[in-house]
Structure 1
Amino acid sequence: MAHFNQNFLDSIERELPTHLSMDDFIAYSNKPLRLSIRVNTLKISVDSFIELMTTKGWQFDPIPWCAEGFWVSNNVDIQLGNTIEHLQGLFYIQEASSMLPPTALFDGEQTDINANLRVLDMASAPGSKTTQIAALMENQGLLVANEYSASRVKVLHANVARMGVANCALTHFDARVFGEYLYETFDSILLDAPCSGEGTIRKDPDALKNWDNNENKGIVDTQKALIESAFLALKVGGQLVYSTCALSRQENQDVCHHLKTVFGDAVEFTSLNKLFRHADKACTEEGFLHVWPQIYDSEGFFVAKIKKLTSVERQVEEPRKQKNFPFSEAKPKQATELKSYFKETFGITLPKDAEIMERDLEYWLFPKAMTPLIGKMRFQRIGLKLADALKKGYKVRHEAILALSSPDMINLTDEQAKEFLMGRDISLTEKVKPQGEVIVAYANAPLGVAKHLGNKLKNNLPRDLVKDKIALY
């Protein structure tokens, strides 16, 4: 049972639209959330995933606002996070409401997905929306994913790597700096702002046990500063989505109206009342989505879409360029060798709309749209680490194999895939000619690299990814 205090209930009663009831709000807040997942189309099609998992007892109920999202049930009591399909990034366990902001960001005026597209996710960890955006971008262009918390940056990178994201650059800042450092740089921006988390009570019954509206003022001040920074970093004609998992007007509608007060006619609210079937049930008069738990049987959520109509004055001078960028463009000889190594060894053609960069005998793949941003601010990690140089040749990196597609893979059975993810070698039934480095896969999606020795596949999975327990259906 959720723990409400009376102050919170009084606040909700003031905020709740007249067509919704407090009884329903309390009833739905006490219901457990339906399990929901998002299929990762960077690795597998929705149809192929449904076919794969239906044979394992899964049942799918489509989420109306996300073509890749489903409420799921299965008859087997196992931890989804320990399944092969989750560990290899075929799906992400994601609450249905949190799929709304990326959908809104890419809806409406057709987003031109190309190598020059730049998108910013201002508060990214653990990575559910970041990886959803990367899939909607089809791994093209540049996705800058920022996270303020140092410990959460590691989690963010792990999820980005697991899901096969190739077009991402990670930053670790208070997101208020983006308007200053990357003024009018991004075509689209998602600000899923830090908030009081009132909408998450179905996931955490104790979330609001000590709720106090007076403590929210600091949060609201931060939200207003962040949305101003986001608007400054947005190109003219660009789209900004502001979202929270809060329920109060002061953290939602009021923050958006604050932006309009600051920047006037440069700000246009875009109605989301046709974002999906029955979206109008959650729409405010401005066209924002204010999702209450009882409307779609989900978490509470707020989503607003804002267009930048005209340029706004830069509020500070352009900061000085960052010095000592540790990467340089790979020499033509090394770039040619790397391309040949990936093609001849793994059947992988490296993307043309990306730059091969070098740092201390490490080779990386940078999105082309990254180049004009180099030196403007410090990045924690950019693109994909492709390979390390050896005395003779190169050694591929695991994250590159997960993100770059190849037709040349050895598909493993369920049991073999389990053994591989547990760090064990795979015995072959017949002894054949050794083939050297090969990609091993499950359901036609890569698991990692092994060395084919003729009678077995020697496991090359990074030690930090080896699992003690894998769940099989």
Structure 2
Amino acid sequence: MIALPERFVERMKRTMGEKDAKAFFASYQESSAHGLRLNPGKVSCEAANAMPFSLTPVPWCSTGFYYTEEDRPGKHPYHAAGLYYIQEPSAMAVIEALRPEPGDKVLDLCAAPGGKSTHIAGYLGNEGLLVANEIHPSRVKALSENVERWGARNILVTNETPGRMTERFPAFFDKIAVDAPCSGEGMFRKLPEACEDWSEGKVAHCAEMQTDILADAAVMLKPGGVIVYSTCTFAQEENEVQIKSFLATHPEFSLEPIAQEAYFTPGELQHTVRLWPHKLRGEGHFLARLRKRADVEITEEVQEAKTKPLPPDVRKIFESFCKETLTFVPEGVYVLFGDQLYVIADGLPRLNGLKVTRVGWHLGKVKKDRFEPSHALALALRSGEWKRGIDFAADSEEVRRYLRGESLFVDTTGKGWTVVTVDGYPLGWGKLVQGQLKNHYPKGLRWV
């Protein structure tokens, strides 16, 4: 039984009313819902029935599905191939409310561990730009790994404060997700340890942080753009009161309806919504969609990044690799950081001075006379984009041996870099040498 904080219980009883409070507290005796989102860049929603799990649709997310406790999707090779992202079902509502479109420049301002970022990437479909920012250095590594596994090409992962981001991205983004750090009350059932970390002082501290984060997001949004603000808490100071205060100090913004409003409970402010654990299959959330007026004057211009042409010998080495291994040459602006080769999006601002974890699609490492492809290159490939591949079934011993980092003897001819796939979906690289597949699955990701 979850021991809810006493002051939290008292407040919820005061604000909810007897009937709702009874149902609300009863929901804490139920199990949390488990969810995953399919990756539309790799697998269609129609293929959900072919997945080896018991999936039922999440009503407010077209790519979202519930799975049962008996399923273990995180331990399946399809997870390593980035076919889905495991995410709490209520959290899927945030990007559904934002609705990015291909070609948009989108910022996920508080991005770790990557649920919202991968959701945005699914909407963009490798058109436009996704900037995923996380202030905490300890969490940004997981964020980078998750967008890599998703196969996102048009990404920039940063490790900065929102204030520092405003210096480089004034009026830059079409849409911004602010899934703000909060007191976590909505996650008490899923993460009981959050109860121990809760206090009324934490609520006040989080509300103060949220005010600053929203103000910074407003600076980075283009005129006519949209911010979706969300929390996983029930405290009004972090939700409706926060939005009221923002609107009072930012009259160029107004609240808009949320497309999935019918599935949720209206908030105290018109067009805001609440997700209650006793009224749907998911944890607690709050959402508000904010539109910036289109006629707001832009006072500061973005200074675009200057890139140097790729050295001819480096281009030759990479194009030789592509000719031998791939059916295409990746398009875009090539940037070399030391010996690491990336493709970055056009129109990026100057990034010098910012803490950047991933500057774009990581293609691999340039050695003296050869090119070593990255894991990110393999996971972002689509069917038909590689010349040489070895496919293993999801239930085979071979695929598990590959994920453990073992080399394999295979009955195939040819030599060189080879895409290893599971049921046709890229998992990583191997190198064929005389019938042996030398394993190049990253050591830090290997199964134990």
Instruction: Report the residue type matching 2:3 in the other structure.
Output: H
Deviation, 1:118, is 1.1
2:169 pairs with 1:192: no
Deviation, 1:335, is 3.5
SS of residue paired to 2:94: helix
SS of residue paired to 1:92: strand
Deviation, 1:406, is 4.2
SS of residue paired to 1:457: strand
Q: 1:176 to 1:392 in 2, by over 3 A?
A: closer
SS of residue paired to 1:388: strand
Q: 1:50-87 deviations in whole A, cap 9, x for unaligned?
A: 31x2xx3x2111001111111112756xx432221112
CA separation in 1, counterparts of 2:244 and 2:372? Answer: 53
Identify the match of residue 338 of structure 2 among 360, 366, 374.
Answer: 360
Identify the match of residue 381 of structure 1 among 354, 358, 375.
Answer: 358
Instruction: Report the residue type matching 2:444 in the other structure.
Output: D
Deviation, 1:283, is 4.9
Q: 1:427 to 1:198 in 2, by over 3 A?
A: same
TM-score (norm 2): 0.91
| Number of residue pairs the alignment of both structures matches | 443
Identify the match of residue 291 of structure 1 among 275, 291, 295.
Answer: 275
1:302-341 alignment runs, 5 A limit: 302-310=286-294, 328-331=308-311, 334-335=314-315, 337-341=317-321
Deviation, 1:454, is 4.0
Q: Alignment RMSD, CA only?
A: 2.6
SS of residue paired to 1:368: coil
Q: 1:71-119 deviations in whole A, cap 9, x for unaligned?
A: 112756xx4322211122211110001111111100xxxx5412xx211
- Match for residue 418 of structure 1? 400
Q: 1:230 to 1:379 in 2, by over 3 A?
A: same
Q: 1:392-442 deviations in whole A, cap 9, x for unaligned?
A: 2322112111113241432112321111101112222x4x53232111101
1:76-115 alignment runs, 5 A limit: 79-106=72-99, 111-114=100-103
Q: 1:289 to 1:340 in 2, by over 3 A?
A: farther
Q: 1:440 to 1:328 in 2, by over 3 A?
A: same
Matched-pair identity in %: 29
TM-score (norm 1): 0.86
SS of residue paired to 1:328: coil
CA separation in 2, counterparts of 1:369 and 1:417? Answer: 40
- Match for residue 449 of structure 1? 429
The gaps in structure 2 that reach 5 residues or longer are none
Contact kept in structure 2, 1:417 and 1:442, CA below 8 Å: yes
Instruction: Report the residue type matching 1:69 in the other structure.
Output: G
Contact kept in structure 2, 1:146 and 1:171, CA below 8 Å: yes
Identify the match of residue 465 of structure 1 among 429, 439, 445.
Answer: 445
- Match for residue 137 of structure 2? 150
- Match for residue 42 of structure 2? 43
Which range moved further: 297-306 or 450-459? 450-459
2:166 pairs with 1:167: no
Instruction: Report the residue type matching 1:262 in the other structure.
Output: T
Identify the match of residue 405 of structure 1 among 360, 379, 382.
Answer: 382
Deviation, 1:45, is 2.0
- Match for residue 471 of structure 1? none
Contact kept in structure 2, 1:122 and 1:147, CA below 8 Å: yes
CA separation in 2, counterparts of 1:410 and 1:88? Answer: 14
- Match for residue 229 of structure 2? 242
SS of residue paired to 2:279: helix
Which range moved further: 173-182 or 83-92? 173-182
